Amino acid sequence: MKIVITAPYHQKGQDELEHLFGEVIYRPWKLQGHGYTESELIDLLEETQADALITEHDEVTAAVIDAHPNLRFIGVCRGTPSNVAVATATENGIPVFNTPARNAQAVAEMFIANLVTMMRYTLAGIR
């Protein structure tokens, strides 16, 4: 199985996927400075003959899914798969999974940092 990953993805995770599924093609959107457009994503999936897609920021539209109806799954590295045409994927029998609470630890850490900043009057002291 060939998995195309356009999300920022740690090398250890890529290695695990390669071990479990076969070939991993890593083309993170950040290298081009913007998420893949609909046509770019269609072309990328065609060029790589991908069996699956792991994305984060790219718009996986109905046109992308219709152009590649044989995808085995679409993984979304964000809390909700709001960038994926889930209904179209479901109609084509393509499971879509996401990463709920992905940023939960970061949110908790930021809350604590802001609380400490507020309680110590740090911002008022800067002024």
Q: What is the pLDDT of residue 98?
A: 93
Nearest to 71 by CA among 39, 94, 45: 94
Query: Would you tell me which CATH number, out of the four given (3.40.50.720, 3.40.1380.10, 3.40.50.300, 1.10.3370.10), belongs to the domain 2-101?
Result: 3.40.50.720
Q: Which residues contact 41 (CB under 8 A, 6 or more apart)?
A: 6, 58, 59, 60, 64
Confidence class of residue 74 from pLDDT cuts 50, 70 and 90?
very high
Q: CA-to-CA distance for 76 and 98, rounded, in angstroms? A: 5
Domain ranges of the chain: 2-101
Q: Which residue has the higher pLDDT, 123 or 19?
A: 19
Confidence class of residue 127 from pLDDT cuts 50, 70 and 90?
low
Burial class (CB in 10 A: 0-12, 13-18, 19+), 127: exposed
Query: Residue 91: what residue type?
Result: E
CB 55 within 8 Å of CB 84: yes
90: tokens are: 């479901």
Asked whether the whole model's pTM tops 0.85, one would answer no
Q: Which residue has the higher pLDDT, 108 or 31?
A: 31
Query: pLDDT digit string (tens) for 4-38?
Result: 999 999 999 999 999 999 999 999 999 999 999 99
